[in-house]
Amino acid sequence: MADPSKPAHHEDGGSTAKRGKPTLRTIAEITGLAVTTVSRALSDAPQISLDTRKRVREVADEIGYSPDRAAQRLKTGRTNVIGVLLDPHEEILGYGTSIMSGIAKALQGTAFHLIVMPNFLNSTNVEAVNYITRNGMADGLIFSRTEPLDPRVRLLSDLGFPFVTHGRTELSTPHPYVDYDNFTFSYQATKRLIAKGRRKPALISGPAGFTFAGHLQHGFMTAVREAGCAYEILSGIDLDSPAGEIRDRIRQRYAEPGPPDSFMCGGEVCALATITGMSDCGLTLGREYDIVAKQTSHLLSAIQPQVETIYEDLTATGEDMGRVLLQKIGGESDASKLQLLLCPQIPASFGTAG
Amino acid sequence: MADPSKPAHHEDGGSTAKRGKPTLRTIAEITGLAVTTVSRALSDAPQISLDTRKRVREVADEIGYSPDRAAQRLKTGRTNVIGVLLDPHEEILGYGTSIMSGIAKALQGTAFHLIVMPNFLNSTNVEAVNYITRNGMADGLIFSRTEPLDPRVRLLSDLGFPFVTHGRTELSTPHPYVDYDNFTFSYQATKRLIAKGRRKPALISGPAGFTFAGHLQHGFMTAVREAGCAYEILSGIDLDSPAGEIRDRIRQRYAEPGPPDSFMCGGEVCALATITGMSDCGLTLGREYDIVAKQTSHLLSAIQPQVETIYEDLTATGEDMGRVLLQKIGGESDASKLQLLLCPQIPASFGTAG
DNA sequence: CTGGCCATTTAAAACGTTATAAATTCAGCA
DNA sequence: TGCTGAATTTATAACGTTTTAAATGGCCAG
């Protein structure tokens, strides 16, 4: 079908030998069209006749054409890559992996790939962000562990570079985010402890500096203030502390007077460590004390069904973040569509009397 | 410094305006050299005078040049990308994240990037591999959950596409792998149970179909045969089973006659679930029964110090896999350098009498 | 001074794609 | 017949890099 009349400057046009990946030229030669036409046809440009579009698509499918990402990227400047900043802290309990699964799910069927940007390449996360944006390594960025005045958010906002955070900031410029409503979680969890008759709940706070830590504390404080009961915020440890440290701290606390009688735990490891520490002191969960915890895997409730849990679906979160970022990259500027506050599923049992 | 005598076909050569990323041409214009020379100089080609090389490097550093990956990739055909097949099963306890951290560490300082290829895009892992190799999306591949006759390994070996598996196969063609010596682990762990006076150890086997499951079982069987004691391989559950199921199965087993008196657990979740199930039956760890388990985070030993554990460092494993793959891509063909069997660190305590 | 060889530098082409602008066809109509 | 404009299609030039082959200039033997 190829027209032999027009001069081919190359000995072999690429259609016969060079059985490498098919390119636009391969299709052009098969259909007898020009490369440009094929390119436009495949991108469904309205200026190409419907007939041609269909024929080109058929041939493309038949020979298994898929566009060369490097060439597209070189020409258009867009990378079709979404970067995730991977934090070493996220190794716990599949946190990072769950989120990545979700993002990948959202990216499925799009031209975008997911690439992991481990932050220990650069000493700080900001440097990593700087590097990525300056070198155009991605079209969008996703990251967690957001701080109230997060410098990464500042930088990216200034640059107009698309991103989504897991967690909110307190910066005045609105930006896309997906966040779990940790205030409500913490508030409801603490209220639940009080409803069960506990009179001195303790909070193991989030790691200092992160926005969600404040939300957790705020929810906790609101609940204890409403009830007018005693409370304690355990010093020296947080949700990032290794299980061993949490356990030791609990044990140590019980050697002192006026210990708490219940715990609001923002994570599974934390809850498990607390239980172990309490058990060391001879105290039994559900009898001498209670725990309400956030769960992100299904481990805790299987191992310790006594702990009442509220589930946070990180895979769904990742999927939301992916979707939001795609919208942002697609040009959506309506902030309300780019900000998601996910509502905790409070188990029905929480409603019933303790 | 730019020579104004030579005809510039473009109005603006790119040096002044267009303050985008600096390219080879930017450097060429600054130094007065040709683009080709700059390219060669930066790749330390011996045909470029040492003097020029030094000058070019200096200018490049000064203006913050970094090569355009898309252009390199288009020209050379090499992607400078390492792909990791992410399996949904790997969400547990940070398995996937740890390995990725390790790989990323190995890739640090090289031109390679790490990109995550979630396998739920294609229904089977083989299709994913097919897609990746056919479309040249990476220069090398890393994956886990290796089967004795793994079809991915077959395919990649046939294609001559560089890869490293986490785990071995039983295929005759040797291929790069990094594996933990699960036989030795299982053998030593089981021997330890027996040394502690247990007379009927039970094995919770690895998920059927994967190579390491066989190794675990082989080590276990070797130990019980040597000791001539009774044993049991728990049916109906494996290391992939949700904690709840393992717990139920343990409880159920203890309702029947002749239950085991100790457990060899290949994972932390499994160990925790077992303990919970036993506790349901009123049995106490270290008194009525013992467990030896493999640990990949530091959770288990902090929560349940009674469990004796053998630690497997997944981040180190990832780092090894990254290194091995880089060697393979670099042309290393000596199989012995590309196959790593990591030896379990048996704790000193194992040596002492029970 | 010519020719040849070395060391160093260079021009031109190519990788596969898309954007720009121009060309081609054809119908309708004066 | 020749013109206009709409509908399609096309040639050409980039994007930034590397590869191939060729050019340049210096130096020495003849």
Beta bridge partners of A83: A115, A141
Cα A90 from Cα B91, distance rounded (Å): 12
Q: From the candidates A115, A303, A309, A317, which should be mutated to test the interface with B, based on the most B CB atoms within 10 A?
A: A303
Q: pLDDT (tens digit, 9 = 90+) per residue, B7-62?
A: 333 333 333 334 578 999 999 999 999 999 999 999 999 999 999 999 999 999 99
- The answer to whether the CB atoms of A108 and B95 lie below 8 A apart is no
Q: What is the DSSP letter of A289?
A: B
- Name the nt closest to A23 by C-alpha to C1': C16
Q: How far is the CA of A233 from the C1' of C3 (A)?
A: 92
How confident is the model at residue A217, as a pLDDT?
98
Q: pLDDT (tens digit, 9 = 90+) per residue, B88-111?
A: 776 666 677 889 889 999 998 899
Beta bridge partners of A116: A84, B114
Q: How far is CA A258 from the centre of its chain?
A: 40
Beta bridge partners of A202: A232, A263
Q: How far is the CA of B76 from the C1' of D23 (A)?
A: 25
Residue window 314-353, chain B: list those with CB within 8 Å of chain A: none
- Name the nt closest to B68 by C-alpha to C1': D16
Q: pLDDT (tens digit, 9 = 90+) per residue, B156-208?
A: 999 999 999 999 999 999 999 999 999 999 999 999 999 999 999 999 999 99
Tell me the two tokens of residue B43. Answer: 């790749």
Q: Is the CB of B202 under 7 A from strand C?
A: no
**Is residue B68 within 8 Å of residue B283, measured between CB atoms?**
no
Q: Identify the closest residue of chain A to B120 by CA–CA distance.
A: A105
Q: How far is the CA of B35 from the C1' of C11 (A)?
A: 10
Cα A309 from Cα A347, distance rounded (Å): 8
CB atoms within 10 A of CB A134: 12
Q: What is the DSSP letter of A129?
A: H
- The answer to whether the CB atoms of A101 and B86 lie below 8 A apart is yes
**DSSP3 helix / strand / coil % (chain A, rounded to 5):** 45, 15, 40
How confident is the model at residue B51, as a pLDDT?
94
- The string of DSSP codes covering B115-178 is EEEEGGGSSSHHHHHHHHHHTT--SEEEE----TT-HHHHHHHHHT--EEEES----SS---EE
- The string of DSSP codes covering B3-72 is -SSSPPSSSS-SSSS--S---HHHHHHHHT--HHHHHHHHTT-TTS-HHHHHHHHHHHHHHT----HHHH
- The answer to whether the CB atoms of A91 and B97 lie below 8 A apart is yes
Task: Note the strand D nucleotides within 7 A of protein beta carbons.
Answer: 7-12, 14-21
Q: How far is the CA of A354 from the C1' of D7 (A)?
A: 75
Residuewise pLDDT in 10s, chain A (354 residues): 333 333 333 333 333 334 578 999 999 999 999 999 999 999 999 999 999 999 999 999 999 999 999 999 999 999 999 999 887 776 666 677 889 889 999 998 899 998 888 765 556 788 889 888 988 899 999 999 999 999 999 999 999 999 999 999 999 999 999 999 999 999 999 999 999 999 999 999 999 999 999 999 999 999 999 999 999 999 999 999 999 999 999 999 999 999 999 999 999 999 999 999 999 999 999 999 999 999 998 889 999 988 999 999 999 999 999 999 999 999 998 988 999 999 999 988 886 544
Q: Which of B114, B243, B298 sits opposite A243 (nearest CB)?
A: B298
Question: Is the minimum CB–CB distance between B269 and chain A shorter than 8 Å?
Answer: yes
Sort residue A165 into left (φ over 0), alpha (ψ -120 to 50) or beta. beta
**pTM above 0.85?**
yes
How confident is the model at residue B93, as a pLDDT?
60
